[in-house]
Structure 1
């Protein structure tokens, strides 16, 4: 799928290596609920990475292995994607984005948990990003601010205890009292406290304090607050390619915002029925097209994806295309709709494909072909006999995210036991790798070859990719731990590098 053509080459299996970890807990250490990571996002250049947690904090990391240490690199698109790099990031800064609130009118507690983070265009060496919890979206500006200090004060060495360092004070041999209120005063300028005696040698001259900037510090400031526009929990925000607008989506509505206007938004999608008892599906995820500012896609709890063109009408309830997979006859069960619900969608960088994640599978869709997905990657097929148990412990409602590589040749998603899967999706690819997000030296990756199926000869027929790990054990041969789940991950926009969150730890892998 490189440059929009899946037939250009076959993605060879990659050897993934552990790169870095931030915040890994020690053995026996209890993880606080507020420290669990709930959102991950690379910026457009890949030089900055942001994470949000359940405590409402946003933590920023910056790339350090580039010549300009995290600045915007030139000719980003000309970089050789095939070269293995070892990207290195360092902690940059953090700030409290959201605080817990309570809606007294609805008797509703609003958590501070960060649901999504999206980077905006940088300007004047400042970073801009959007973060949201269940109800409120905020625009943040992070910039370097010079720390100003006052020096060259009129403070004398013997009276400077507690007044800081002495800069520029001088004395002479002859006392020179100064005139105040028409007479001589015994209190020289600069003496503090109740000691009004002359300093030894008197005052030679008065110095005006000088303000200097010697250090810089990172300062995060909230520039806009977009609030009171959603009655239900916000599950998605997405920036438009025009650099001026973004959307926010909750269970029943999608709103369009201008970045400069925080007190009004336009409702462009509304699936709320006149009678809530008639409600059959809700919106689960929404994203703008990467290059066409008039197009967006949103997914539903019924496993469908709708492509919307905002040029058709102001209210986009009528979709321009509908993507859904038809049920096999006789396959319907109590769990059918639950496991069909799409938890995340992502556009490929070329905008010609959409990746979706439901509970059991990853699906790749061609936006020009709505008869079915062009590829299906089984992720949790081995869990099908355990759906009753997963329903009882609510694991079946876990919302796993998905991501695509910048060249469009691979896709990735998370699983249980802190595992994540990487699949090749180009024509003839047999790449299917399972990795464990852990610093454990015994950690290893497993590869299960898949029989190649040509993408070019589909003609509207759904392809199901075989070869998923159906053993029910993790990469180390242990039974899957459903309390350890890797829900959030992001792929570097121009390199084979993945950032993933396991509990409160951020793991970096590269190939």
Structure 2
């Protein structure tokens, strides 16, 4: 059950705070342009080498981006993996392709509309130069293959003009090409008014198909995994064995084989015999990055369960339980709502788990279930406004979280299109707030943090932004709860973050 040691376990000392800079933006709207609902980004995922980035949106589309700076400088994927993580580089990406992954559906048996919105994207292992990925909406998971294919053209479609006689006319080889429906083209075609001369044509040649130097990207759906979830799918996660993956909804987690789409195995089922006895639901699930028998899932009660697939076929009994005890007298109407975990992520080596609830980020050591090893206050300034947040449903917003590849920092999003980066090495007080805005000259917002307090095994760091009053900017304006940065991802090998603000994808590096 022990994971590999990560850098965070025994660093030489707290690293210096990073100086974040704006890198790129994709899909930024012009002033006054309204954001279309279907264009809002709903999922972000880096490929494990960092060479590719995928986003999904509420319109059911998947957009792929490709890293270009390593290619421009003669680097390769293997070179980028060997590079020292501390070397500051400027990752640059470009648009590669996009495809329609999901369409809106209607479940006639349940009279239920199924949105096309992409909930999660997960990259799979590449093969023969092709990219593979899983994408899911509320009910259906799809397995996609994206590959460059050479465009094929039809050539030698004409007869030899020297042999043709009679009253017909033959199209010359200089005729304009016909572009075929399959992407090919027909060079030198026969004209419609051609008629065969007396005695026939002895030199008629059959058409041949040749590959041209042109290539085009083709996305093909290889498999569809459907009809296995009664509730909305909130997570999918690939196993390190490269053959299986899990999908999770509110009450069940299913195990799939990538090659088999018509059956899955239910490995976790928290549905009670009587639904009135239901006290918690599954909110997120993820496989351990290196141990193919271990996975973790979080609940709406703020707990994380670690399960071992070797123990039994149905993993309702957990191997370890991680939860933080409530402080006496601190319970309120909102306690359970804000305790619900919206996202969990394993660290690269698998020893640490990062969780995000509404108010905080928590870092857990899987070898220590007495409590989190670090707690980072994200929304403490919103505590007096919980009633308002409940009224406008903002309290149910599901913010994601991510860890840096070296395990020294964590990040998550907030309101007003802000995202926050915390240092999690022992002794680090790093706490930076940045805003995903359209000003390319923007600088990071200074965020003084209070001194760290030691609470047993827990370290609490508080972030504040701007003016004296938390939740109010330097101009005295309240935070905008209608703009929120829910989705972000950290580059696997470098200090670079991709984050989504509405329909725009922002890239930062340090």
Q: What's 2:210 paired with?
A: 212
Q: Pick closer, same or farther for the CA change 1:437–1:210 going to 2, 3 Å.
A: same
The answer as to 2:80 corresponding to 1:84 is no
TM-superposed CA distance for 1:476, in Å, is 7.6
> 1:461-476 residue pairs with structure 2 within 5 A?
461-469=457-465, 471-474=470-473
TM-superposed CA distance for 1:350, in Å, is 1.1
| Distance (whole Å) between structure 1 residues aligned to residue 417 and residue 209 of structure 2 | 52
Q: Pick closer, same or farther for the CA change 1:191–1:308 going to 2, 3 Å.
A: closer
Q: What's 2:16 paired with?
A: 12
Q: What's 1:54 paired with?
A: 58
Q: What's 2:176 paired with?
A: 164
Q: What's 1:74 paired with?
A: 78
> 1:306-345 residue pairs with structure 2 within 5 A?
306-345=305-344
Q: What's 1:26 paired with?
A: 30
The answer as to 2:370 corresponding to 1:371 is yes
Aligned residue pairs total 484
Q: What's 2:383 paired with?
A: 384
> 1:417-456 residue pairs with structure 2 within 5 A?
417-441=416-440, 443-450=442-449, 453=452
Q: What's 1:117 paired with?
A: 121
| Distance (whole Å) between structure 2 residues aligned to residue 442 and residue 338 of structure 1 | 38
| Distance (whole Å) between structure 2 residues aligned to residue 475 and residue 500 of structure 1 | 24
> 1:60-459 residue pairs with structure 2 within 5 A?
60-67=64-71, 73-154=77-158, 159=171, 164-165=176-177, 191-196=190-195, 205-214=203-212, 215-441=214-440, 443-450=442-449, 453=452
Preserved CA contact (<8 Å) 1:139 1:225: yes
Q: Which secondary structure does the structure 2 equivalent of 1:447 belong to?
A: coil
Q: Which secondary structure does the structure 1 equivalent of 2:461 belong to?
A: coil
Preserved CA contact (<8 Å) 2:8 2:425: no
| Distance (whole Å) between structure 2 residues aligned to residue 9 and residue 477 of structure 1 | 38
The answer as to 2:49 corresponding to 1:42 is no
| Distance (whole Å) between structure 2 residues aligned to residue 249 and residue 191 of structure 1 | 58
| Distance (whole Å) between structure 2 residues aligned to residue 165 and residue 301 of structure 1 | 61
Preserved CA contact (<8 Å) 1:269 1:316: yes
Q: Which secondary structure does the structure 2 equivalent of 1:67 belong to?
A: helix
Preserved CA contact (<8 Å) 1:289 1:347: yes
| Distance (whole Å) between structure 1 residues aligned to residue 135 and residue 477 of structure 2 | 37
Q: Which secondary structure does the structure 2 equivalent of 1:389 belong to?
A: helix
Preserved CA contact (<8 Å) 2:22 2:509: yes
TM-superposed CA distance for 1:277, in Å, is 0.2
| Distance (whole Å) between structure 1 residues aligned to residue 374 and residue 433 of structure 2 | 18
Q: Which secondary structure does the structure 1 equivalent of 2:459 belong to?
A: coil
Preserved CA contact (<8 Å) 2:280 2:301: yes
TM-superposed CA distance for 1:48, in Å, is 0.3
Q: Which secondary structure does the structure 2 equivalent of 1:396 belong to?
A: helix
TM-superposed CA distance for 1:73, in Å, is 1.0
Q: What's 1:169 paired with?
A: none
TM-superposed CA distance for 1:159, in Å, is 3.7
State the Cα deviation string for residues 412-456 of structure 1 (Å, max 9, x = none).
Answer: 00001100000000011111100011122563312334466598x
TM-superposed CA distance for 1:9, in Å, is 3.0
| Distance (whole Å) between structure 2 residues aligned to residue 451 and residue 392 of structure 1 | 31
Over aligned residue pairs, what C-alpha RMSD do you find?
2.5
| Distance (whole Å) between structure 1 residues aligned to residue 354 and residue 218 of structure 2 | 36
| Distance (whole Å) between structure 2 residues aligned to residue 238 and residue 255 of structure 1 | 11
| Distance (whole Å) between structure 1 residues aligned to residue 201 and residue 319 of structure 2 | 83
Q: What's 1:186 paired with?
A: none
What is the TM-score with the length of structure 1 in the denominator? 0.89
Q: Which secondary structure does the structure 1 equivalent of 2:388 belong to?
A: helix
State the Cα deviation string for residues 334-373 of structure 1 (Å, max 9, x = none).
Answer: 0000000000000000111100000011011111111111
TM-superposed CA distance for 1:465, in Å, is 1.9
Q: Pick closer, same or farther for the CA change 1:191–1:404 going to 2, 3 Å.
A: closer
| Distance (whole Å) between structure 2 residues aligned to residue 101 and residue 50 of structure 1 | 23
State the Cα deviation string for residues 120-178 of structure 1 (Å, max 9, x = none).
Answer: 00000000000000000000000011110112331669746996349xxxxxxxxxxxx
State the Cα deviation string for residues 296-315 of structure 1 (Å, max 9, x = none).
Answer: 00000000000111111111
Gaps of 5+ in 2: 162-168, 179-187
Q: Pick closer, same or farther for the CA change 1:190–1:111 going to 2, 3 Å.
A: closer
| Distance (whole Å) between structure 2 residues aligned to residue 336 and residue 8 of structure 1 | 38
TM-superposed CA distance for 1:213, in Å, is 1.5
Q: What's 2:184 paired with?
A: none
Preserved CA contact (<8 Å) 2:170 2:194: no
Q: Pick closer, same or farther for the CA change 1:446–1:21 going to 2, 3 Å.
A: same
Preserved CA contact (<8 Å) 1:11 1:425: no
| Distance (whole Å) between structure 1 residues aligned to residue 296 and residue 142 of structure 2 | 23
Preserved CA contact (<8 Å) 1:150 1:209: yes
Q: Pick closer, same or farther for the CA change 1:476–1:372 going to 2, 3 Å.
A: farther
Preserved CA contact (<8 Å) 2:309 2:315: yes
Higher alpha-carbon Rg: 1
